[in-house]
Amino acid sequence: MALLQISEPGQSAAPHEHRLAIGIDLGTTNSLVATVRSGMAVVLNDELGRPLLPSVVRYASDGKIEVGYAAQTQLAADPRNTIVSVKRFMGRGLKDLEHVDSMPYDFAVNGNEAGGMVKLRTAQGIKSPVEVSADILRGLRARAELALGGQLTGAVITVPAYFDDAQRQATKDAARLAGLNVLRLLNEPTAAAIAYGLDNAAEGIYAVYDLGGGTFDISILKLTKGVFQVLATGGDSALGGDDFDHRVFCWILEQARLKPLSHEDARLLQVRAREAKEYLTAHGEAPIAARLSTGEFVDLRLTTGIFNEITHTLVRKTLGPTRKALRDARLSPDEITGVVMVGGATRMPAIQKAVEDFFGCEPLNNLDPDKVVALGAATQANLLAGNRAAGDDWLLLDVIPLSLGLETMGGLVEKLIPRNSTIPVARAQDFTTFKDGQTAMALHVVQGERELVSDCRSLARFELRGIPPMVAGAARIRVAFQVDADGLLAVSAREQTTGHEAHIEVKPSYGLSDDEIAAMLKAGYTHASDDAFRRALREVQVEAQRLVEAVQSALREDAHLLSMLERAHIDNCLARLQSVLVGDDRRAIEAAMDALSKGTAEFAARRMNQSVRRALAGKRIEEMDRL
Ligand code: ADP
Ligand code: MG
């Protein structure tokens, strides 16, 4: 397999021209920016010394744009204009999103934009998730420029490993909008591995367990000196620290026997719940106190024992996708060299213990779980910008989450790039025409694990024209799929004799949720035998259709070779085959094909003789004898 060398040898910058490069962890809950200073990756703090920038943007009615903590404090007061977790909307259409009804936002639905990304109506007009993310990135860029005191060469921005084309493209667009030069998008687990790989010079197979505010991601990586390869990814897009907060929030309501709450009071108690959860990480008991707008006073104590009891199902819930990712990578827990903990929620002792028990080894904790992704991104950015120390020859591999393929006759999928292929990757395959004289070919690019197009996700369609007319099966059309290091797909089709070419960069209007990916993967397994049956059926149907067309074409040309009776028999056989062709009785189709083949055997022989005669017309008898 071809490895990508992401930094060319001999391009190191001279020491005095150190280029300013940053790594950005653009998180669902929190974002960070880091850089490499004197050979060390460090997170850049804000002017108050805080490393995190809450991924919250407020579009106030007075025209001010607030980002981070300033926006977060307005969450309860101005929920509609204060956007949280915008990462969930990146590259997504409205119908991709769950729980839209419970969100406080005013989604702008444009009639003719069925395939477009969701947009939010705010006090400052309609904002796309790309613009909101760009505002977060602008905040981080300003912080970095202030801290580094100069022009930035570029940035590495991290994305979840399962992010598809649309989501990656949206992230890149946001960075461009924020005036950042994107050196590369980097998968979050890979960034975490880079951070650990450098610090510990570790080798082996690692699991990256990332429990953030609202998402859980598990990745299996293979590390050997200088090479990172993602073997498998998995997770749950609706599981994170927020769910732990919610359990505590419900416990508070139950204990304090509270009546229905106002929006502000609910917000306040949610904040208290989160504070208590975080406090419990280092203490055995957390006080919860709050005065509500009704005048009621909440005064409770949450112990670790109770907390563990009300949240143990959440802890357990992370192990399902973990098991599955291991299965995908064909590994057992004891084959994992170490577990890298990422995300603020992995600080919880119950999570640490569950992971330790599952893998049978103590997870890696010597880096701050909030910062590890940003630190790895900074290291990578530093290398890409050309600030390489001698001997730093990094190779970097990632995988694509779902198979990529092409629709073939009969609505079948021909997979060109199987899922979990390492990127960048390029694969080509030759296809041919189905009909005589066919001059155009429609190409339909799909993503998914199932055998039939109708069960996969459609990514793009395009057409190759200008194929010279030839008999069916004679043209050679080479279709090439290329997935670049950012995970973006380009497809090209080229007719080999004429060199006619068509290509497309696949930019679907919005992406898939990882639940959908999981569902599609699951369906791929459970339907495997069903699919095999349907595939066999489709193949017979395609074969039969080909036979029908061949006989029809022969009849058009040479019907004069047949008697009326013979013609009637062939017509009968044809009609029979055409009628069973559309059904799902494979045996019946095969029998009808057989009958038609037999029924046309004599006809075929006569046509053969006729063409031989034509070919030999005008030749002398002696010459014919020798044939
Ligand atoms: P994301 O990757 O989604 O942006 P983070 O990695 O920043 O999220 O994680 C945020 C989550 O981590 C929040 O739910 C927060 O409450 C939780 N968290 C942060 N510190 C602690 C702590 N000390 N104990 C428990 N949870 C914590
Ligand atoms: Mg994160």
In terms of C-beta density within 10 A (0-12 exposed, 13-18 middle, 19 or more buried), how is residue 105 classed? buried
Q: Which of 136-145, 373-382, 532-541, 556-565 has the lowest mean pLDDT?
A: 532-541
Q: How high does pLDDT run on average in the chain?
A: 83
CA atoms within 13 A on the CB side of 395: 17
Q: What pLDDT, on a 0 to 100 scale, did the predictor assign at position 5?
A: 30
Give SS3 for 56. Answer: strand
Average confidence (pLDDT) over 385-413: 71
* Ligand 1 pocket residue status of 27, Cβ below 6 Å: yes
In angstroms, what is the span from residue 210 Cα to ligand 2's centroid? Answer: 7
Spatial distance between the Cα atoms of 583 and 569, rounded to a whole number of angstroms: 22
Q: Which of 8-22, 257-271, 365-379 has the lowest mean pLDDT?
A: 8-22
Q: What pLDDT, on a 0 to 100 scale, did the predictor assign at position 139?
A: 96
Spatial distance between the Cα atoms of 517 and 574, rounded to a whole number of angstroms: 43
In angstroms, what is the span from residue 21 Cα to ligand 2's centroid? Answer: 20
Task: Say whether pLDDT at 163 is over 90.
Answer: no
Query: Bridge partners of 299?
Result: 289
Q: What pLDDT, on a 0 to 100 scale, did the predictor assign at position 9?
A: 33
Helix (H) or strand (E) holding 43, with range, is strand 40-43
In terms of C-beta density within 10 A (0-12 exposed, 13-18 middle, 19 or more buried), how is residue 449 classed? buried
Q: Are strands 422-423 and 425-431 parallel, antiparallel or unpaired?
A: unpaired
Which CATH code, of 1.10.340.30, 3.30.160.340, 1.20.1270.10, 1.10.10.10, is assigned to 529-616? 1.20.1270.10
Type of residue numbered 61: S
Query: pLDDT confidence of 44, banded at 50, 70, 90?
Result: very high
In terms of C-beta density within 10 A (0-12 exposed, 13-18 middle, 19 or more buried), how is residue 24 classed? buried
Nearest CA to ligand 1 atom 26: 345
Compute CA distances 410 → 337, 452, 454, 553, whole Å.
Answer: 46, 9, 11, 21
Task: Say whether pLDDT at 3 is over 50.
Answer: no
CB atoms near residue 546 (< 10 Å): 16
Average confidence (pLDDT) over 52-81: 93
Query: pLDDT confidence of 428, banded at 50, 70, 90?
Result: confident
Helix (H) or strand (E) holding 480, with range, is strand 477-483
Q: Which of 274-288, 300-314, 446-460, 524-538 has the lowest mean pLDDT?
A: 524-538
In angstroms, what is the span from residue 352 Cα to ligand 1's centroid? Answer: 14
Spatial distance between the Cα atoms of 12 and 390, rounded to a whole number of angstroms: 8
Q: In the CATH scheme, what is the code of domain 241-310?
A: 3.90.640.10
Q: Which of 77-91, 205-219, 613-627 has the lowest mean pLDDT?
A: 613-627
Q: Residue 165 is encoded by which pair of tokens? A: 């084309």
Spatial distance between the Cα atoms of 143 and 433, rounded to a whole number of angstroms: 57
Phi, then psi, of 503 in degrees rounded to 5? -145, 165
pLDDT tens per residue across span 487-542: 678 888 888 888 888 877 664 434 444 555 466 556 656 666 667 777 788 888 88
CA atoms within 13 A on the CB side of 101: 0
Residues around ion ligand 2, judged by CB within 5 A, are 27, 212
Smallest CA-to-CA distance from 192 within 212, 172, 177 is with 212
- DSSP characters for 515-535? HHHHHHHHHHHHTHHHHHHHH
Spatial distance between the Cα atoms of 492 and 136, rounded to a whole number of angstroms: 36
Average confidence (pLDDT) over 268-276: 93
Task: Say whether pLDDT at 144 is over 90.
Answer: yes
CA 72 remoteness from chain centre: 29
Q: What pLDDT, on a 0 to 100 scale, did the predictor assign at position 398?
A: 61
Spatial distance between the Cα atoms of 320 and 341, rounded to a whole number of angstroms: 17
User: Could you tell me what percentage of the chain is helix, strand and coil, using 3-state DSSP and rounding each to the nearest 5?
Assistant: 40, 25, 35
Phi, then psi, of 610 in degrees rounded to 5? -60, -45
Query: pLDDT confidence of 14, banded at 50, 70, 90?
Result: very low
Q: What pLDDT, on a 0 to 100 scale, did the predictor assign at position 314?
A: 97
Q: Which of 35-49, 152-166, 520-534, 581-595 has the lowest mean pLDDT?
A: 520-534
* Ligand 1 pocket residue status of 270, Cβ below 6 Å: no
Q: What is the CA radius of gyration of the chain?
A: 31
Architecture of the 400-512 domain: Sandwich (2.60)
Type of residue numbered 567: R
Spatial distance between the Cα atoms of 561 and 567, rounded to a whole number of angstroms: 9
CA 624 remoteness from chain centre: 66
Q: What pLDDT, on a 0 to 100 scale, did the predictor assign at position 12?
A: 41
Could you tell me where the beta strands, DSSP code E, fall in 188-296? 204-211, 216-224, 227-236, 285-291
Average confidence (pLDDT) over 272-296: 94
Length of the chain in terms of residues written: 627
Task: Say whether pLDDT at 269 is over 90.
Answer: yes
pLDDT tens per residue across span 93-141: 877 777 777 788 888 865 444 457 888 999 998 888 999 999 999 999 9
Which range, 2-6, 404-408, 604-608, is most confident? Answer: 404-408
* Ligand 1 pocket residue status of 83, Cβ below 6 Å: no
Helix (H) or strand (E) holding 539, with range, is helix 528-558
* Ligand 1 pocket residue status of 347, Cβ below 6 Å: yes
Our mutation pick for probing the ligand 1 site, out of 72, 162, 370, 514, counting the most ligand atoms within 8 A of Cβ, is: 370
Residues 6+ apart with CB under 8 A from 529: none
CB of 544 closer than 8 Å to CB of 588: no
Query: pLDDT confidence of 623, banded at 50, 70, 90?
Result: very low
Spatial distance between the Cα atoms of 370 and 342, rounded to a whole number of angstroms: 7
Q: In the CATH scheme, what is the code of domain 21-240+311-398?
A: 3.30.420.40
CB of 461 closer than 8 Å to CB of 496: no
Eight-class DSSP state of 575: H
Q: What pLDDT, on a 0 to 100 scale, did the predictor assign at position 240?
A: 94
Q: Does residue 487 come out as left (phi exceeding 0), alpha (psi in the -120 to 50 range) or beta?
A: left
Residues carrying an active site annotation: 25, 87, 188, 210
Spatial distance between the Cα atoms of 106 and 119, rounded to a whole number of angstroms: 9
Q: What pLDDT, on a 0 to 100 scale, did the predictor assign at position 625?
A: 39
Q: Which of 50-64, 143-157, 496-510 has the lowest mean pLDDT?
A: 496-510
Spatial distance between the Cα atoms of 197 and 205, rounded to a whole number of angstroms: 11
CB atoms near residue 534 (< 10 Å): 19
Q: What pLDDT, on a 0 to 100 scale, did the predictor assign at position 2?
A: 28
Domains of the chain: which residue ranges? 21-240+311-398, 241-310, 400-512, 529-616
Helix (H) or strand (E) holding 147, with range, is helix 129-148
* Ligand 1 pocket residue status of 129, Cβ below 6 Å: no
Task: Say whether pLDDT at 330 is over 90.
Answer: yes
Q: What pLDDT, on a 0 to 100 scale, did the predictor assign at position 187?
A: 87
Residues 6+ apart with CB under 8 A from 141: 22, 33, 152, 155, 178, 179, 180
Spatial distance between the Cα atoms of 30 and 184, rounded to a whole number of angstroms: 20
* Ligand 1 pocket residue status of 187, Cβ below 6 Å: no
Query: Bridge partners of 65?
Result: 59
Spatial distance between the Cα atoms of 244 and 347, rounded to a whole number of angstroms: 13
Q: Which of 87-96, 248-257, 339-348 has the lowest mean pLDDT?
A: 87-96
Q: At which residue do the structure tokens 């801290």 appear? A: 147
Ligand nearest to the CA of 27: 1
CB atoms near residue 178 (< 10 Å): 23
Helix (H) or strand (E) holding 134, with range, is helix 129-148
Helix (H) or strand (E) holding 195, with range, is helix 188-200
Average confidence (pLDDT) over 590-619: 78
Percent of the chain with pLDDT over 90: 39
Query: pLDDT confidence of 71, banded at 50, 70, 90?
Result: very high
Q: What pLDDT, on a 0 to 100 scale, did the predictor assign at position 360?
A: 95
Closest atom of ligand 1 relative to the 241 alpha carbon:
14
C-alpha angle with apex 611: 607 to 615, nearest 5 degrees? Answer: 170
Q: What pLDDT, on a 0 to 100 scale, did the predictor assign at position 627?
A: 37
Task: Say whether pLDDT at 335 is over 50.
Answer: yes
Q: Which of 16-20, 136-140, 445-449 has the lowest mean pLDDT?
A: 16-20
Nearest CA to ligand 1 atom 19: 344
Smallest CA-to-CA distance from 324 within 524, 28, 528 is with 524
Q: Is the pTM of this model over 0.85?
A: no
Task: Say whether pLDDT at 411 is over 70.
Answer: yes
Q: Residue 148 is encoded by which pair of tokens? A: 């580094």
Q: What pLDDT, on a 0 to 100 scale, did the predictor assign at position 113?
A: 46
Average confidence (pLDDT) over 61-68: 94
Query: pLDDT confidence of 60, banded at 50, 70, 90?
Result: very high
pLDDT tens per residue across span 214-265: 889 999 988 766 566 778 888 888 899 999 999 999 999 999 988 788 878 8
Task: Say whether pLDDT at 587 is over 60.
Answer: yes
In angstroms, what is the span from residue 241 Cα to ligand 1's centroid? Answer: 6
Phi, then psi, of 484 in degrees rounded to 5? -85, 180
Q: At which residue do the structure tokens 């009326």 appear? A: 564
Spatial distance between the Cα atoms of 208 and 339, rounded to a whole number of angstroms: 6
